[in-house]
């Protein structure tokens, strides 16, 4: 019986374009901010309409991708999940930490449609992605509800870290700088608390980039106050 090789080469089949040029502010899981828009654009070799035939019949898809900002030569069997305060160690395979033996991520996103563009072929229009702009994608699979959905699944330590939403306060004159189509997405990102989980200084001013904007804010639980929004 032939043995499988211990290593294999993964090919980048696409890249995703999102509003996040850096990691800060990206939702911690996919689907938390449904209004976030993204576009999956295939690399030249895979720009085939035949390759996505039938995909339009699915409402959601899985993206298999690379934590491109977390590639390392070594790995640790334990990590410190930020949602546990950054001090408690858990087994790396019990977390979704980017610091893994193979820096692979898995995200379930909503497929809004497929556009055929002459210059780049089929483009997947998605919502709810938790990926940085330009993230390389290795595979795309349809989400199958009867097999992929487990309502009675145990949630492990994440049951201690259920997300809480912040109240977002933003002066109208600042909000006017945000394109209308991006306001719900930005509000959702801010409400999900972009700060590292272990930082709770109400006087600290945080900054994040979103869709060509620089957004500065403070947080005094349970209120996040936007202090400034400028065009980059």
Q: Using alpha carbons, select from 77, 82, 108 the residue that is nearest to residue 94.
A: 77
pLDDT at 121 over 80: yes
Q: Strands 104-117 and 121-127: what pairing?
A: antiparallel
Q: Which pLDDT belongs to residue 196?
A: 80
Q: Which pLDDT belongs to residue 11?
A: 96
Tell which phi-psi region holds residue 25, choosing left (phi > 0), alpha (psi between -120 and 50) or beta. left
pLDDT tens per residue, range 65-79: 998 766 677 888 998
Can you give the CATH number for the domain in which 130 is found? 2.40.30.70
- Tell whether 73 is covered by a domain: no
Q: Are residues 59 and 29 both part of a single domain?
A: yes
Tell me the whole-structure pTM to 2 decimals.
0.91
pLDDT tens per residue, range 12-54: 999 999 999 999 999 988 999 999 999 999 999 999 999 999 9
59-73, 120-134, 178-192, 206-220: range with lowest mean pLDDT: 59-73
Domain that holds residue 172: 164-231
Q: Are residues 140 and 173 both part of a single domain?
A: no
């Amino acid at each position: 019986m032939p043995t499988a090789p211990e290593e294999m080469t993964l090919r980048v089949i696409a890249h995703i374009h999102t509003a996040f040029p850096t990691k800060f502010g990206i939702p911690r899981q996919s689907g938390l901010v449904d209004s976030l828009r993204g576009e999956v654009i295939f690399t030249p070799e895979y720009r085939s309409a035949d390759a996505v035939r039938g995909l339009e019949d699915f409402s959601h898809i899985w993206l298999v991708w690379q934590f491109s900002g977390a590639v390392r030569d070594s790995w640790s069997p334990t990590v410190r999940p930020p949602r546990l305060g950054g001090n408690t160690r858990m087994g790396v395979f019990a977390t979704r930490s980017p610091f893994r033996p193979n820096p692979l991520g898995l995200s379930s996103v909503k497929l809004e449609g497929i556009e055929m563009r002459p210059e780049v072929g089929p483009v997947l229009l998605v919502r709810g992605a938790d990926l940085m702009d330009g993230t390389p994608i290795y595979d795309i699979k349809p989400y199958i509800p009867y097999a992929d959905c487990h309502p009675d699944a145990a949630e492990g330590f994440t049951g201690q870290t259920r997300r809480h939403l912040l109240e977002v306060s933003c002066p109208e004159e600042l909000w006017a700088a945000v394109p209308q189509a991006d306001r719900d997405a930005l509000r959702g990102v801010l409400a999900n608390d972009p700060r590292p989980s272990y930082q709770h200084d109400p006087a600290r001013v945080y900054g994040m980039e979103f869709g060509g904007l620089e957004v500065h804010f403070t947080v005094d639980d349970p209120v996040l106050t936007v202090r400034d929004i400028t065009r980059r």
